[in-house]
Amino acid sequence: MLSLYDTRNRRVERIVPEGTRSLRMYTCGPTVYRSAHVGNLRSYLLSDLIRRVSERQGVRVVVCRNITDVGHLVDDAEIDPSGEDKILAQARAEGRSALEISRFYEDTFLKDTTALNIRPPEHSPRASETIDLMVEMIAKLIEKGHAYAVPDGSVFFDAASFPTYGEISGNRLDHLRPGHRIEAVDPRKRFHADWALWKPSEAELTWETPWGRGFPGWHIECSAMSLRFLGEHIDVHTGGIDLRFPHHEDERAQSDATAGHEVVRHWVHGEHLLFDGRKMSKSTGNVVLLKDVADAGLDPLAVRLALLEHRHRQQMNLTWDTLRAADKTLRRWRGQVAEWSESPSGPMPADRVSRIEAAFDDDLDTPLALRLLRELERDDSISPGSRFETFLHLDQILALDLSLDIGRTVRPKDLPGGAAELLERRSRARDAKDWAASDRLRDELAALGVKVVDTPDGQTWS
């Protein structure tokens, strides 16, 4: 069964409870004020892999992934008297309403995850539509002595009331200091490490509560939604390593204080993704979206394959060369699977499959799994039909659409020398809408005796 590194317990542990065949998983969803870049998408690939590996072992997986469409401050480390959040700031910048902004980028996110073959969750609640859950939870925390309201309508969580705070990140309350950009400790707080559960505001996207009009703090959203849709016992909680502190520490404190026990059994985090050696950010100009990959003529699933080349908790440096290499491998594998499909089917090599599946089970060792798969690809002692069955079997986890070329008219072994490469280059040029290159490559193919015809389903040749 699948084992993963638990950030809180600092060790690799089996994540499916003994004696059960079910798994409840919560994944921190996107803040929908801009498009998710490929670094953000890496976190959602992590939860998708956990799901796919578990389901291949007969485990029923229930996933909740929220949509944060309110409550995320422009800078959560600073006091923001205007109460404006990222959604409102982006709405003003684009001249659209907050609802238009959030729905547009939510739709963009869903299209990106679909393009990466990330399975949709069973529950995808929006923060703006579950305010009542948050208000109810805040009231309960106040009643239990874990939160307090102040005269201006703010409500804060009392960090000192939760003695085990810091077990995920290793940060101890008595060692925490105010943020480096805050000149003075907020006088409304009992302790500088307390955080806001509710914030007063009269701006757009605010609600009436017993404490006044305002909007929820970012952390309370995940607590309220995870408890409502998955219950008080959650097997796995995933997210990027940047959420470990303070978001997941605050979320754990809120959820456990409400339930009266440890809610999440395992906290699993994915590491940072760099691009060309730097963290992705607008200031450095190296933000790469999935759309940019497609516009470059590469298959979006080349991103999925490139990310699988590194373990989820290993920092990774992605480059355009890496993506092009992944795209080339992806196309080669699809061509191989299509060619093998024409041979008689054969049984999968049990020992080889077992080793690859064991790599997935061992803290998602995807680099090892891919290395073993490449060895199998080159092993001519295994019949084509057996390799065909094995690749398609494992693609239920890899989700690379390896059967995509089966039945297509292009069969490289029948082409004149060099024509297969020209056809592939022309296909990429058409995907990138580089019509000049497409026409030039058509002429080069014609010179080799290959006639190309474009159809709505792609190019064919004779």
Q: In what order do the strands lie in the sheet with 316-318?
A: 278-279, 273-275, 316-318
222 is in an annotated binding site: yes
> Torsions phi, psi of 260, nearest 5?
85, 10
251 is in an annotated binding site: yes
User: How many angstroms separate the most distant Cα atoms in the chain?
Assistant: 82
Nearest-angstrom CA–CA distance, 416 and 437 = 20
Q: What is the token pair recorded at 129? A: 């539509």
- Supply the DSSP symbol for 121: P
282 is in an annotated binding site: yes
175 is in an annotated binding site: no
64 is in an annotated binding site: no
In the chain, the N- to C-terminal Cα span, in Å, equals: 49
Helix (H, G, I), strand (E, B) or coil at 63: strand
Helix (H, G, I), strand (E, B) or coil at 201: coil
Cβ-proximal residues to 75 (8 Å cutoff; 6+ apart), any chain:
181
Cβ-proximal residues to 367 (8 Å cutoff; 6+ apart), any chain:
308, 309, 310, 311
Q: Per residue in 393-428, is it b (16+ CB within 10 Å) or e — as a string?
A: ebbebbbbbbebbeeeebeeeebeeebbebbbbbbb
Burial class of residue 355 (count of CB atoms within 10 Å of its CB; 0-12, 13-18, 19+): middle
For 257-289, give the DSSP string.
HHHTS--EEEEEEEPPEEETTEE--TTTT---B
Q: Which of 210, 224, 226, 217 is nearest to 189 (CA)?
A: 217
* Contact present, 65 and 77 (Cβ < 8 Å): no
Q: What is the token pair recorded at 212? A: 């006044």
Nearest-angstrom CA–CA distance, 413 and 199 = 66
- Parallel, antiparallel or unpaired: strands 273-275 and 316-318: parallel
Q: What is the token pair recorded at 309? A: 């080349």
Helix (H, G, I), strand (E, B) or coil at 460: strand
Known binding-site residue numbers for Zn(2+): 28, 222, 247, 251
- The annotation places the binding site at 28, 222, 247, 251, 282
Binding-site residues for ATP sit at: 282
